[in-house]
Amino acid sequence: MKNLVSLLREMRAEPSFGQSFGISVTLAPDIYYLQHFDAKGLIKYATFLGFMSYDLHGTWDGALANVGKKVYGQADGHDIERDLMPMWFDLSPTDMQKVNVGNFVISIVIDASVLKQLVRSLKLRSWVYIG
């Protein structure tokens, strides 16, 4: 993700933008995805890093041996602690203060039949189903 670090560096260097706006980067909450981010490089230019601890695992993670095709949340404290571990090694304690761990609840309809019914009732022309 060196391109992302370069993009943030260029954004910060732009006089009309760099000091006038905050820049945040969302980090995936799983080591499989997180390993591709340069947290140390990003933190130099980001206002904060958002760690998506509220995300879901699901069928899209089926190829990952440690996850599987089950749908479940990643908001478990043990998962968050484990998934943040690489960042504790990469970042200083001061840098870690700029890491935002979301702790809120989201509600997601998993049952496709319920979703189809909702789409029909809202008279939507199309919808996306992941699963």
Domains of the chain by residue range:
2-121
- What is the per-residue pLDDT across 4-43, written as a single tens digit (0 to 9) for each? 999 999 999 998 887 888 888 888 777 777 788 888 999 9
Host H or E run for residue 42: helix 39-43
pLDDT for res 64: 77
pLDDT for res 129: 43
pLDDT for res 130: 41
**The domain defined by 2-121 carries CATH number 3.20.20.80:** yes
CA distance linking residue 30 with residue 72, whole number of Å: 13
Residue 64 contacts residue 32 (beta carbons within 8 Å): yes
Half-sphere exposure of 60 (CA within 13 A, CB side): 7
Beta bridge partners of 25: 49
- What is the per-residue pLDDT across 63-122, written as a single tens digit (0 to 9) for each? 877 777 777 665 667 777 878 888 888 888 888 888 887 655 445 555 666 666 656 665
pLDDT for res 131: 36
Residue 99 contacts residue 51 (beta carbons within 8 Å): yes
pLDDT for res 74: 59
CA distance linking residue 8 with residue 6, whole number of Å: 5
Six-digit token pair at 93? 């304690």
CA distance linking residue 74 with residue 114, whole number of Å: 23
- pTM exceeds cut of 0.95: no
Beta bridge partners of 51: 27, 101
- What is the per-residue pLDDT across 46-73, written as a single tens digit (0 to 9) for each? 998 888 776 666 777 778 777 777 776 6
Residue 62 contacts residue 68 (beta carbons within 8 Å): yes
